[in-house]
Amino acid sequence: MDSKPFTLWTFVKILALAIAITWVLTMLSGCFHSTFIPQKSTYYDLEPVCDRAIDIVRGDIEDLLKAKGTLIGYIRTNGSPLSSSYVIQQSMEKRTCEHGGTHFLLISNYQSNHRSIINTNCTGYGCFTTSNTVADKNYVWAVFRVEPSMWHYLPTQIVPIGE
């Protein structure tokens, strides 16, 4: 069997392929980050009171108010356009609780085109550079808190999952 020796060029090709695969997997993972913006400075360090917050609709706000719910701030998220709604939902359930919230409501979503991805591919014929602009998904969520002692005033379907 005739085998070719492992050369520096072979190593470079393997490394380029590994980088390309890593980039694709990162884009497909649907990563995004978030920022909590408290309504008042005293809401910045609230202790978590739930394990999983509840995604509500506008019609649920009246029930929150009856249970003495308070708007404690907003969470802004942005990330890959490939982020699934399931991944975003799961993340918001946890992030809302981490900031002391019990409920969250989507109030804004839009896409922005601000990330450029530049790829350079080299072959035996030369190097070619391509540039793509990626549209990030952006969301703004209102974050509410209902104290655990008031959860019994909430309809069953919007009671947070407790600690």
Q: Over the chain, what is the mean pLDDT?
A: 80
Per-domain boundaries in the chain: 8-162
Q: Give how far the C-alpha of residue 11 lies from the chain's centroid of Cα atoms, to the nearest Å.
A: 36
Most confident of the ranges 103-107, 108-112, 131-135: 103-107
Query: 77, 138 in Cβ contact below 8 A?
Result: yes
The pTM for the full model equals 0.68
The whole-angstrom separation of Cα 44 and Cα 90 is 22
Cross-strand pairs, 105: 142
The whole-angstrom separation of Cα 41 and Cα 155 is 30
| % the chain with pLDDT above 70 | 69
Q: Is 155 helix (H, G, I), strand (E, B) or coil?
A: coil
pLDDT tens digits, residue range 8-49? Answer: 777 777 777 777 776 655 554 556 678 888 888 878 789 999
> Which two structure tokens, joined as six digits, stand for 139?
């969301």
Q: What angle do CA 59, 61, 63 make, to 5 degrees?
A: 95
The whole-angstrom separation of Cα 98 and Cα 101 is 7
pLDDT, mean of residues 117-141? 68
Q: Identify the pLDDT of residue 77.
A: 85
Q: Dihedrals φ, ψ of 75, to 5°?
A: -120, 125
Q: Is 56 helix (H, G, I), strand (E, B) or coil?
A: coil
